[in-house]
Chain A
Amino acid sequence: MKNQSTFTPKKSLRALGYVAFLMMTILAFNPVYGQSKTTLQNERTIKGVISNDDGPLESASIVLKGTKIGTSSNSKGEFIFPKPLKTGDVLLISYLGYETVEMKIKADTGFIRLRLSEDLLEFVGALNSDKPYKSKRSNK
């Protein structure tokens, strides 16, 4: 009881002051600490699996937009992105003949499951030629 009576509001304020000073000192002398911790929390390894209508898609390319950093999917359609990614990064996922998908990494993205849809095209082609035109003539 006696001890409690000696613990006056004035003393507790002083103690709080010491703690605050200590914390401020730590933060002041190690300013990067807080920042890098949040970045580390954001950056993570992204994995995923790419498929088409027939099943897993091998050799689909996964590239970080605006760079040439990337990887491609294995025979099971799986990939592990080689660089840790943070929220807001954009991946370009593509395969020749399929629509390219832009995928934004969201706060809760960790695993990507994506089915690519085919680019619908009707293929045609006309030849150009330097062969001089020749009229068809009936033999008179």
Chain B
Amino acid sequence: MRYLFLFIFAFQSNAQISDFGTVNFNEADKIALEYKNEKLNNLPELAYKLTANLDTDVERFRAIFMWVCGNIANDYRLFHKNMRKRQRYRDDSLKLKKWNDHFSKIVFKKLLKKNKTLCTGYAYLIKKLSVLANIDCEIVHGFARSSTTNVDRLDTPNHSWNAVKLNSKWYLCDPTWASGIPNLATSKFEFHYNNGFFLSNPKLFAVNHYPADKKWMLLLDEDKPSFKAFIEAPIIYGKAYTNLSVHKEPKKMHNIIQKNESIVFEFQLIKPVEAKDISLLIDNGKSSKKVHPELTSIKNKSLTVEYKFERMGFYDVHFLIGKDLISTYTFRVKG
């Protein structure tokens, strides 16, 4: 019995999109496009339209996910307003609750009238539509890190995403981050679908998502990072999700090393790459230079890259595959 449990759990821990390698999502994606511009005033009808003509749960969930990611915009003003208020009332639970109740009304109004929301709204819609299509789905609250969140000051959950049960296995996805990102020049939200956040690899997901309830990591106990390890982990970007299945080394964002000491980057890739595509963008605060690392080994989609700093200093190091920004680390190089 114990072995059976272990087996089920080990099996569970690898839940990701590659499980559905043979499923073609064209039909589901087409249906999601067909119902573009639908409003949210009748969720049962919307769920019916999106899912009634699809045969499998994973396709039905795909249509729901694609519809939400393609039709709901992230409202950054709403986000900033909420962050300011939550920060102000963080030590006053009564005022915080009052704000939450008030804010929740504003959010639903905005969602209904303008199809705009923030993370929890995305996760809420995914859950509601999935449950209406008889798919088991949960909202997961937790902590998320990106290059612009103040990672050192996270003390209450700041993000929501989903866990969904397909063919008796739970999977993770992040509809907010899949839908789009801020334009770098204007800081305004832009729809830009990232498929890496649809049924993501739980090991990669755990690098920048930490659920309040650890069971939603969907990892074996020995693979579950501690909160400290999560806070200390490198920054990974949206493109990490379309290039990597696992980020192994370096485990920390901030590193102290000796001059001429080899630093090792180790990733598991989704698709094969060539050595010439790998580069590091190294910034010493005054200028930045792009280098191709000295040693790169690619075997069975397992990528190992080594690099040595020859001069002392403090460097921001960005890892790139082609033009895709994957991750960032800092290195203090001592003499």
- Which residues of A line the B interface, CB within 8 A? 59, 61, 63, 65-68, 70, 72, 92, 94, 96-97, 100, 118-135, 137
Q: A131-B184, A132-B325, A135-B314 are in contact. Are A100 and B43 (CB under 8 A)?
A: yes
Q: How far is the CB of B205 from chain A (nearest CB, A)?
A: 13
Are A59's CB and B41's CB within 8 A? yes
Query: B168 interface residue, CB < 8 Å from A?
Result: no
Are A124's CB and B159's CB within 8 A? yes
Residues on B with C-beta less than 8 A from A123 are 82, 100, 103-104, 107, 118-121
Contact of A121 among B120, B239, B285 (CB under 8 A): B120
Q: Give A63 to B105 CA distance when docked, in angstroms.
A: 24
Q: How far is the CB of A136 from chain B (nearest CB, A)?
A: 10
Q: Which of B105, B160, B281 has the most CB of A within 10 A?
A: B160
Are B148's CB and A129's CB within 8 A? yes
Query: B293 interface residue, CB < 8 Å from A?
Result: no
Residues on B with C-beta less than 8 A from A59 are 41
Q: How far is the CB of A60 from chain B (nearest CB, A)?
A: 9
Q: Which of B156-197 contact A (CB under 8 A)?
A: 156-160, 176-177, 181-182, 184
The A contact surface, by secondary structure, is loop
Q: How far is the CB of A99 from chain B (nearest CB, A)?
A: 10
Q: Give A33 to B190 CA distance when docked, in angstroms.
A: 62
Q: A124-B158, A126-B146 are in contact. Are A61 and B41 (CB under 8 A)?
A: yes
Question: Among B7-15, B44-52, B266-274, which stretch is in contact with chain A?
Answer: B44-52
9 closest A-B pairs by CB: A125-B118, A97-B108, A125-B119, A126-B159, A61-B42, A133-B147, A63-B44, A126-B144, A92-B44
Are B118's CB and A128's CB within 8 A? no
Q: Which of B45, B112, B139 has the most CB of A within 10 A?
A: B45
Q: How far is the CB of A38 from chain B (nearest CB, A)?
A: 29
Q: How far is the CB of A59 from chain B (nearest CB, A)?
A: 6
Are A96's CB and B108's CB within 8 A? yes
Q: Which of B105-148 contact A (CB under 8 A)?
A: 105, 107-108, 111-112, 118-121, 124, 128, 131-132, 139, 141, 144-148
Residues on B with C-beta less than 8 A from A122 are 100, 104, 120, 141
Are B316's CB and A100's CB within 8 A? no
Contact of B328 among A70, A97, A128, A133 (CB under 8 A): A133
Are A72's CB and B42's CB within 8 A? yes
Are B283's CB and A134's CB within 8 A? yes
Chain B window 41-84, contacts with chain A (Cβ cutoff 8 Å), 1 for yes, 0 for no: 11111001100000000000000000000000010101100100
Q: How far is the CB of A122 from chain B (nearest CB, A)?
A: 5
User: A59-B41, A65-B44, A134-B283 known; 6 other A-B pairs, CB under 8 Å?
Assistant: A92-B44, A125-B159, A126-B144, A127-B181, A130-B238, A132-B318
Residues on A with C-beta less than 8 A from B22 are none
Contact of B120 among A124, A133, A137 (CB under 8 A): A124
Query: B149 interface residue, CB < 8 Å from A?
Result: yes
Q: Give A94 to B132 CA distance when docked, in angstroms.
A: 11
Who on chain A is nearest to B316 by CB? A135
Are A124's CB and B148's CB within 8 A? no
Are A135's CB and B285's CB within 8 A? yes
Q: Which of A63, A123, A125 has the most CB of B within 10 A?
A: A125
Who on chain B is nearest to A98 by CB? B108
Q: How far is the CB of A138 from chain B (nearest CB, A)?
A: 10
Contact of B177 among A67, A128, A133 (CB under 8 A): A128
Residues on B with C-beta less than 8 A from A94 are 42-44
